[in-house]
Amino acid sequence: MAVIGIDLGTSTSEIAVYKDGKVIVIPNDKGNRITPSYVGISTDGEMIFGEDAKSQYLGRPQDTVREFKRLMGTDESVKLGGREYRPEEVSALLLGYLKGCAEEYLKETIEEAVITVPANFDDNQRQATMLAAKIAGLKCERIINEPTAAAMAFGIKNMDKDMRVLVYDFGGGTLDVTVLKMFEGILDVETSYGDTKLGGKDFDEKMMNIITRKVYEKNGVNLDRNNLIVLSKLKEAAERAKIDLSFVNETTVTLENIVLNGKLVNTQINITRREFEDEVMDLVEKSGVVIDKALKDKGLTYEDIDFVLMVGGTTRIPVVRNYVKNKLNKNIRTEINPDEAVCMGAAIQAAIKAGVISEENSLVITDVCPFNLGTSCVTEVNGMEVAGILSTIIERNSTVPITRSQIYTTAIDYQTEMNIDIYQTLDNNCIWAKDATLIGQFMLDNIPARPKGEEAIKIEYSYDINGNIKAVAEVLSTGHRRQIEIKRAINMQDVVQNEVAAVLDNYKECNLYKKYKMTIEGAEKRLNTLGESEIKKELMRLLNELKQYIIQDDEDMANEIEGEIIDLLFDID
């Protein structure tokens, strides 16, 4: 059974598989290798994805969502078809669509994937990605950083090379800069830094500003960005103009059927590449700061870099490419499609994991912990005790897997309990724990009651290659221990079930629902009688898949899954 690689991007998403000794980028159901990251509800009440949803966005923005990757790991929601969705719910719907495209292309069931994320996604964002995969019916034991995936796509063809590569990954929503050493088939990640709030969509926003200004200069009226229809047309025009100016020096922007001065009109303006470059130069230079930060963290200089590998659609913009080339004075490697490099690397990692690529012929990857991991403590400053200071235990860019520990003492007399907080931050200079992100906490009890400072507590953190964090606290005088594990493979089964139910709730409104209603109701009744077991998990998975195919109006796959459900129910009885 194939394991696929998925690049779940802000602007576009791609899927790939390693088959017959090569990576194949899998087309979607429209025959395209690149799928716009759009999800919508059609006028018939059905879920639509990719090109169909993007086409609908201009006329029905209230029933279409995009750029939801930027909200992953937050409490924010998006509105689609009159109801609120969490970002991971919408991501799950898109993943389910991509999964279906892969199954149609490969003519087999897909149950597992390696999914990529920006290198500097925090733990909440990574867990949200894992949850989305779970909801979509995908087993995802491995998440790989996007720049590392791109380097794998390049490295698999250059295993005999010995060089240091800077991967400049500028996508639709994020920027990552990663430096790797390549030698003897090993990819050694040395340093990584990024900005999860800087991407091609910010360039679109700049283009929207240009268009708005020029429309005002021509018509004396500001475009109403509070009008969803106007905003969607403005965004679409900005994206198209940005792409055009990567190939021509001037482009014409046409806005059709927009309201100006109370009238429905068409208006045209011209924009030059120079105007666009002047507008976005601050964003381009901001990316240079990220480059410098990544190099500085490892004590590297421009001269230490052998070449630059550019990844992500934003690197197609000439001013971006030229800026990086001139800044580093290095060759830019372009032999890998910047839109497909990440999913290709994910497919290679998936093949290695599945044993399709033998260990003798595969790349060995050493990655780094992308954050500083620490705890809150009391520290003496100028003779005064100050609480809430962040004490770093594992430093950012440490090679993983890694285990590190620090010794602390009790902070008050006769203290018998200690609350252990786990924080993460990108900021090497972070002083206060409150300025970092709290990702977990637990209580260490049974500390012998003695004067403060007389009981020593060892706090040990471990970070593995899959991003799982383990924290152990030990009273050194007695050996008493408590621990917590923070896993990307989310153990919140109840939350997962609730999210699945919420995402798939509208399957009852789809055309195929009546055909499979009795099977679903019977299986759900049987589900309630089962205790926690592998059979229950399998039945839940099949039910979720059936609902996904009902939403996607895929009768052939729905029939196949229904047959599996019926067979399983007979086995249970």
Query: What length is written for the chain?
Result: 573
Looking at the fold, whether 528 and 443 belong to one and the same domain comes out as no
Domain annotation covers residue 547? yes
Tens-digit pLDDT string for the chain (573 aa): 789 999 999 999 999 999 988 999 999 999 999 999 999 999 888 899 999 999 999 888 899 999 999 999 888 989 888 788 899 999 999 999 999 999 999 999 999 999 999 988 888 888 899 989 999 999 998 899 999 999 998 887 777 788 999 999 999 999 999 999 988 888 889 999 999 889 999 999 999 999 999 999 998 888 888 888 888 899 999 999 999 999 999 999 999 888 777 777 788 999 999 999 999 999 999 999 999 999 999 999 999 999 999 999 999 999 999 999 999 999 888 778 889 999 999 999 999 888 887 655 667 778 888 889 999 999 988 888 899 999 999 999 898 889 999 999 999 999 999 999 999 998 889 999 999 988 888 999 999 999 999 999 999 999 987 778 899 999 999 999 999 887 643 333 344 444 445 445 557 777 888 888 888 888 888 877 777 677 887 888 788 778 877 876 778 888 888 888 888 887 776
Domain annotation covers residue 495? no
Residues 189 and 149: beta-carbon distance below 8 Å: no
Q: Which secondary-structure segment (H or E) carries 569?
A: helix 555-572
Looking at the fold, whether 434 and 388 belong to one and the same domain comes out as yes
Looking at the fold, whether 231 and 326 belong to one and the same domain comes out as no
Looking at the fold, whether 22 and 125 belong to one and the same domain comes out as yes
Looking at the fold, whether 361 and 411 belong to one and the same domain comes out as no
Domain annotation covers residue 416? yes
Of the residues 452, 486, 520, which one is the last residue of a structural domain?
486
Of the residues 244, 279, 314, which one is the last residue of a structural domain?
279
Looking at the fold, whether 184 and 326 belong to one and the same domain comes out as yes
Looking at the fold, whether 257 and 191 belong to one and the same domain comes out as no
Q: Is 157 helix (H, G, I), strand (E, B) or coil?
A: coil
Domain that holds residue 329: 3-199+284-366
| Spatial separation of the C-alpha atoms in residues 394 and 371, rounded to whole Å | 8
Looking at the fold, whether 65 and 168 belong to one and the same domain comes out as yes
Looking at the fold, whether 220 and 179 belong to one and the same domain comes out as no
Domain annotation covers residue 107? yes
Domain annotation covers residue 264? yes
Domain annotation covers residue 525? yes
Of the residues 458, 486, 514, which one is the last residue of a structural domain?
486
The CATH number that applies at residue 443 is 2.60.34.10
Report how many domains make up the chain. 4
Which of these, 131, 17, 113, 112, lies nearest to 73 by C-alpha position?
Answer: 131
Domain annotation covers residue 498? no
| Spatial separation of the C-alpha atoms in residues 472 and 342, rounded to whole Å | 35
Domain annotation covers residue 494? no
The CATH number that applies at residue 206 is 3.90.640.10
Looking at the fold, whether 210 and 352 belong to one and the same domain comes out as no
